[in-house]
């Protein structure tokens, strides 16, 4: 795995393995470990790629803001979105409630703060939401990924490697 230093949240999580073309695998699905802050892309029982993640923050009652359970990749996917507060993300793929719960990049904002990379500003509130990636659950409910990992998942969704209906399993561990 890539060391969690510098701007690691922009790049692929694995350094010794290239992104696989999921169209070449059978029984592709995604497993999310909320407390482990990892996403595992699976082929049957075999892990074929591991990504750093920041799923939903843990609430006072011990539950995650990310729903736990079995879901499916849905039709909704997009290159970028912003909410009414000017915070958003890149490379979104829905797995629950048709656009409510997504896999997407670390946060972006449209108020020119945070870390600038290309034409986007990453992070908000001082950028702390960038460096929690892979370390702890920290989102409002979606599953945050590095920019490159989110782009790869998005591209696999579009090219048929991760088709609509693919299984997504979210567990606390």
Which residues carry out catalysis? 104, 142
Find the Cα–Cα–Cα–Cα dihedral 137, 76, 106, 1, rounded to 10°. 70
Question: Per-residue DSSP letters for 34-95?
Answer: TTTTEEEEEETTEEEEEEE-B-BPBPTTS-BSSPPEEEE--S-EEEEEE-TTSEEEEEEEEE
């Amino acid at each position: 795995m890539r060391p969690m230093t510098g701007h690691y949240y922009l790049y692929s999580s694995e350094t010794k393995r290239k992104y696989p073309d999921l169209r070449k695998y059978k029984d592709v699905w995604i497993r999310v470990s909320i407390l482990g802050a990892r996403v595992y892309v699976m082929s049957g029982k075999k892990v074929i790629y591991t990504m750093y993640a920041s799923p939903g923050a843990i609430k006072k009652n011990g539950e995650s803001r990310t729903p736990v359970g079995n879901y499916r990749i849905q039709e909704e996917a997009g290159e970028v979105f912003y909410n009414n507060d000017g915070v958003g993300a890149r490379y979104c793929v829905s797995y629950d409630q048709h656009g409510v719960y997504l896999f997407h990049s670390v946060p972006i904002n449209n108020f020119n703060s945070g870390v600038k990379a290309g034409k986007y500003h990453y992070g908000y509130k001082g950028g702390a939401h960038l460096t929690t990636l892979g370390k702890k659950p920290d989102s409002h409910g979606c599953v945050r990924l590095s920019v490159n990992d989110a782009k790869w998942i998005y591209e696999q969704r579009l090219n048929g490697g991760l088709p609509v209906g693919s299984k997504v399993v979210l567990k606390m561990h």
